[in-house]
Chain A
Amino acid sequence: MSPTDLFQPLLMKIEQVIEETPDVRTLRLAFADERQGREFTFRTGQFGEYSVFGEGECTFCIASPPTRNGFIECTFRKAGRVTTALAGLEPGETIGFRGPYGNIFPIQDWERKNLLFIAGGIALPPMRSVIWNVLDLRDRYGDITIVYGARTVADLVYKRELAEWAARPDIKLVTTVDPGGETPDWKGEIGFVPAVLDKAAPASRDTIAVVCGPPVMIKFTFPVLARLGLAPKSIFTTLENRMKCGVGKCGRCNTGKYFVCKDGPVFTLAQLQGMPQEY
């Protein structure tokens, strides 16, 4: 039976724990109740509240695509009380999940367009869901370019998937690390994401860009995209305002008149330009 209360989580079993970097983990989660699992649907871009009972809840996006059923995945960095507890859990253990919450990446509107994904650091998870989603529907989209940067080689997450994407002829993948963050056998680019993006100069006609990453990266990436000729309404990002309830009540994510948990987390640059700088 599904919980009737908004705040009561569904129970999820940890099926698999993948150590992405020393402090980043991906969990594959299956619904403890199979029927709940069959009934559960979400769309790419949405997030959830994950709980470790006795420690509390934290907000992560759903990092797996809706095209793959029966489980969801999240990728998180060990940062504080709940994420530390979560990082200590092993396959077979039970956690809670509320969701899906928030709006979506409107991928239906993007069909036949070129897609450019730009991510920095631990911000690849929200993007991983949408990337796999469009890759699972590959023939509906034009060129797909992924530019992903991290501070050091060790900080790159989803190494197996990066290898898989690099091997695919129908995607252009550019990986980069900050100067000094490379290893002797590093074959990718060296430099900050905006500069590398300038060099990669992907298709700019009929292009949709999705940018996720630390605020500085986003700030310096927008002008590059403008130079490439992208309109603000074709540039998407996600906001990460502090959240508690996820359902528009606790007040924490309120940004101007918007609630990031309900009106977001996905926003276009055009929308951000019309919003107060409070994120």
Chain B
Amino acid sequence: MNALREKARELLAAKTVQVVIGYGRGSGGSARAVFMRAPAQAAELIFDATCLQNLAVYLMKPEVRKLGKAALVATPAALRTILQLAAENQVADNSLLALAPVGEDIMPLATFAAIEAHVAAADHDLSAAEGAELGKFAAMGLEERRRFWEEQFSRCLKCYACRAACPLCYCTRCTVECNQPQWIPVPAHDLGNLEWNVMRAMHLAGRCVNCGDCSRACPVGIPLYLLNQKLISDVSSVFQARSGMAARSDNAMSTFKPNDPEDFIR
């Protein structure tokens, strides 16, 4: 934590960056995003097990972008997000500084190449627990799975917290807001909820970096991560593609390759 605060203080004092996006203490012992703009504020930064939010979501917000060059306290998921945003031409190389906590230390990563090297060295596979949960879900029969999701989606409020918390849902006009034609019904009834959640999951297929923020954001506790993780594992087995690993990569779902497998299309 001291290394982080020291680094942040130094960056702000030297005006290397105009803002450090990090974590501070929030309500009830939780962590919340903070935007430090003066060296003295650096003392409020924290980094511990409560720091879960993927702060890369703020890289896409105009209110944050206008503050100037940012240093971002980046969890492994946030680093993958930066690379994925880079692959989608949303952030430019050298335009931000990632601060990756490594033990008690802090590793500044100024370029996409540095982030790629850092990310490549880590293990991003699903954890054993995640794998087991996904396995259970995969083992359900088609009918059981349908009932499971119907029950889950019946609680969806269409509050779009999942979308707002997702750093890769940055469209200025989301498909649910396109009304000519009205692709997705606006109300949060069964059909609207099903179409909304399936649409969002499909838009994140091959792009989602498994940060888990959509599920954490969902006020009614819908396990959206199951959809994302299933799609991640399918995209990886069908296309041997993995999002968030490289700053230049083709999106598996929107890039045609002559040798793409077609046997899953029925």
Is B237 engaged at the interface, CB distance under 8 Å to the other chain? no
Chain A proximity of B58: nearest CB distance (Å): 25
Is B180 engaged at the interface, CB distance under 8 Å to the other chain? yes
Is A241 engaged at the interface, CB distance under 8 Å to the other chain? no
Is B127 engaged at the interface, CB distance under 8 Å to the other chain? no
Is A276 engaged at the interface, CB distance under 8 Å to the other chain? no
Cβ of A80: which chain B residues have Cβ within 8 Å of it? Answer: 179-180
Cβ of A81: which chain B residues have Cβ within 8 Å of it? Answer: 179-180, 182
| Interface hits, A153-203 → B, CB 8 Å | none
Which B residue sits closest to A84, measured CB to CB?
B180
Q: Do most interface residues of chain A lie in helix, strand or loop, or is the interface mixed?
A: helix
Cβ of B180: which chain A residues have Cβ within 8 Å of it? Answer: 80-81, 84
| Interface hits, A6-34 → B, CB 8 Å | none
| Interface hits, B152-207 → A, CB 8 Å | 179-180, 182
Chain B proximity of A144: nearest CB distance (Å): 41
| Bound form: Cα–Cα A81–B179 in Å | 6
| Bound form: Cα–Cα A81–B177 in Å | 12
Cβ of A84: which chain B residues have Cβ within 8 Å of it? Answer: 180
Which A residue sits closest to B179, measured CB to CB?
A81
| Bound form: Cα–Cα A198–B111 in Å | 57
Interface bits A68-92 vs B (CB < 8 Å: 1, else 0): 0000000000001100100000000
| Interface hits, B125-155 → A, CB 8 Å | none
Chain B proximity of A74: nearest CB distance (Å): 21
Cβ of B182: which chain A residues have Cβ within 8 Å of it? Answer: 81
| Bound form: Cα–Cα A81–B182 in Å | 9
Interface bits B230-243 vs A (CB < 8 Å: 1, else 0): 00000000000000
| Bound form: Cα–Cα A84–B182 in Å | 13
| Interface hits, B81-133 → A, CB 8 Å | none
| Bound form: Cα–Cα A81–B186 in Å | 14
Cβ of B179: which chain A residues have Cβ within 8 Å of it? Answer: 80-81
Chain B proximity of A71: nearest CB distance (Å): 30
| Bound form: Cα–Cα A84–B179 in Å | 11
Which A residue sits closest to B180, measured CB to CB?
A81
Which A residue sits closest to B182, measured CB to CB?
A81
| Interface hits, A51-103 → B, CB 8 Å | 80-81, 84
Chain A proximity of B175: nearest CB distance (Å): 15
Chain A proximity of B180: nearest CB distance (Å): 5
Chain B proximity of A167: nearest CB distance (Å): 41
Chain B proximity of A112: nearest CB distance (Å): 48
Chain B proximity of A150: nearest CB distance (Å): 26
Chain A proximity of B193: nearest CB distance (Å): 20
Chain A proximity of B159: nearest CB distance (Å): 16
| Bound form: Cα–Cα A81–B178 in Å | 10
| Bound form: Cα–Cα A261–B182 in Å | 26
| Bound form: Cα–Cα A128–B81 in Å | 54
| Bound form: Cα–Cα A183–B209 in Å | 57
| Bound form: Cα–Cα A81–B183 in Å | 12
| Bound form: Cα–Cα A100–B179 in Å | 27
| Bound form: Cα–Cα A268–B31 in Å | 48
Chain A proximity of B191: nearest CB distance (Å): 16
Chain A proximity of B186: nearest CB distance (Å): 10
Chain B proximity of A56: nearest CB distance (Å): 8
| Bound form: Cα–Cα A81–B181 in Å | 8
Chain B proximity of A256: nearest CB distance (Å): 22
Chain A proximity of B127: nearest CB distance (Å): 43
Interface bits A201-216 vs B (CB < 8 Å: 1, else 0): 0000000000000000
Which B residue sits closest to A85, measured CB to CB?
B180
| Bound form: Cα–Cα A84–B180 in Å | 9
Chain B proximity of A166: nearest CB distance (Å): 38
Chain A proximity of B187: nearest CB distance (Å): 12
Chain A proximity of B47: nearest CB distance (Å): 39
| 4 closest Cβ pairs, A-B complex | A81-B179, A81-B180, A80-B180, A80-B179
- A sample of 6 inter-chain contacts (CB < 8 A) reads A80-B179, A80-B180, A81-B179, A81-B180, A81-B182, A84-B180
Binding site for A on B (CB under 8 A): 179-180, 182
